[in-house]
Structure 1
């Protein structure tokens, strides 16, 4: 379904995280086929963190890997920690080990956010790369942006009370996160909101109280940044397990 500031997102509740991953993987295959048929390529922005890892492992499995036209798939990142690509905390490393190194995806189609070095400069570099890929568009038009949600309501590296929540022009921001005493590089909310599809993956009992606040509570995006994600003309889907969705 289409979602906007006035419409309601689609919420899909499954018994457990395994069912969430299976359903999400099937949806990604379907979106890839449709995008490649329509435009000759599929642009996917990956989420970091532990929740999506199971999905990436599924996509690399025998069940799914053969269903993709990998030369037509372009992989981007929704955010990155300011660490080298081989660091244990690197979103790129997780995605590479779970998916990217296990499928015949051309190296040139992997658009890594550089985490090492100057965060502000790296954010500018990534925005330049996105602007070149999307060929002068006002905003990036990803076919799919995958997102997680933290226990505090953050998504990507849009954390409560941080400066990037106010960004209305940049596609990519170097966002200072006080509680971690470091920068994170992240797509901005407007960049995410111009995607054709946005998929939240939320699992675990730690999200039980926060999820209904984000979806149906008072609008407080400074406290609950996931509320900023309201696609302009795209579809918004939440894939959640029964633990996270227990109070919906």
Structure 2
């Protein structure tokens, strides 16, 4: 990715690998967000692929005539479904010896992100999924009074009665830890089976939150302080499943209905997942059926450059997420052991 001087005098925003690239009226292309690790030297060229509003691809080529300092956002994941994406940066993948250490790292990250957000603006916006993440959070005992300053949303949720512990993530989370924590500011579904209406209403509830509770970026998308995301064996994240239209949403809604299964679900869309200040994906534990846990899925999500977000949605988060795995779940990759402290510090 380069900054360059272009022979054009118009301004247009494009989404590239999670970054905002803008051709300014000054005829300079730059990143106008935060924290990219390096500047680009003179003479480098690069191709920029963008997704247009009607989801057609347009190839833009800019050739570097000079080097300009720039900054880019934390997220550098492609919004283009058919584009090749590269393996996750090594510093974003942490392999810990045991399942308990993975749990410990997630706990410390929740606490750390909460305290940082509250120190900055007085509130903490948290998004959680269901599944194994609920088990991880069930053993967390908050060490400070951040819970009373927390708003909770769901990454995904089935369109069912929210009190049904057999299928409702909210009911399961309440039983496992939310009621014990005393967390009451929860954005809930209505509890109907109408996927489209539930998605629309959930987005409306999120949009009703003031920015002091749920910040927005310059495009008006929500920015969670922390998003915990689970990954399925098939690569689904939230309720965004492979080769479904929902994964193609780029500029559209915050929340979408997903009809992969019955009953339907709602899910945060990919641009919302990618914009979180911190995204954590953890995988730990084994079973008789899965002696290496989700090792295959983790390899595809993190390291396989042949996959695309369309056929393996989790790969769309590889560059903006912190990945915390135990040794079993990292067994199909050659990665060095890390520590809990380093995983938390690198987030």
Q: TM-score by structure 1 length?
A: 0.88
Sort the Cα spacing of 1:134 and 1:189 in 2 relative to 1 into closer, same or farther, 3 A: farther
User: Corresponding residue for 1:172?
Assistant: 255
Task: Give the SS at the match of 1:83.
Answer: coil
Write the mapping of 1:180-195 to structure 2, written as runs, cut at 5 A.
180-195=261-276
| Distance across 2 between alignment mates of 1:20 and 1:157 | 24
- How do residues 1-248 of structure 1 correspond to structure 2 at under 5 angstroms? 2-5=74-77, 8=89, 10-49=92-131, 51-59=132-140, 64-87=141-164, 88-105=166-183, 107=184, 109-135=185-211, 137=216, 138-168=220-250, 169-177=252-260, 180-203=261-284, 204=286, 205-217=292-304, 218-229=306-317, 236-248=321-333
Distance 1:230 1:19, change over 3 A: closer
Tell me the distance in 2 between the aligned counterparts of 1:226 and 1:143: 20
RMSD over equivalenced CA pairs, Å:
2.0
* Equivalences, count: 236
Higher relative contact order (CA 8 A, sep 6+): 1
Rounded Cα–Cα distance in structure 2 between residues aligned with 1:65 and 1:173: 31
Unaligned segments of structure 2, at least 5 residues: 1-34, 36-73, 78-85, 287-291, 334-347
Encode CA deviations 1:193-248: one digit per residue, 9 max, x unaligned: 111111112224241112111112113222201122267xxx52011111111112
Q: Tell me, what secondary structure is at the counterpart of 1:99?
A: helix
Question: Considering only CA atoms, is the larger Rg found in Structure 1 or Structure 2?
Answer: 2
Unaligned stretches of 5+ residues in structure 1:
none
Rounded Cα–Cα distance in structure 2 between residues aligned with 1:28 and 1:14: 17
In the alignment, the residues of structure 2 paired with residue 89 and residue 100 of structure 1 have an alpha-carbon distance, to the nearest angstrom, of 16
Q: Structure 2: how far apart are the matches of 1:153 and 1:99?
A: 27
Q: Residue 29 of structure 1 contacts residue 68 of structure 1 at CA under 8 Å; is this kept in 2?
A: no
Q: Is 186-195 or 136-145 further displaced after alignment?
A: 136-145
- TM-score where L is the length of structure 2: 0.64
2:329 aligned counterpart, secondary structure: coil
* Contact 2:238 2:267 survives alignment (8 Å): yes
Distance (Å, rounded) in 2 between the aligned partners of 1:16 and 1:66: 23
Per-residue CA deviations over 1:37-66 (Å, capped at 9, x if unaligned) read 0010000001211x112322122xxxx323
Higher helix share: 1
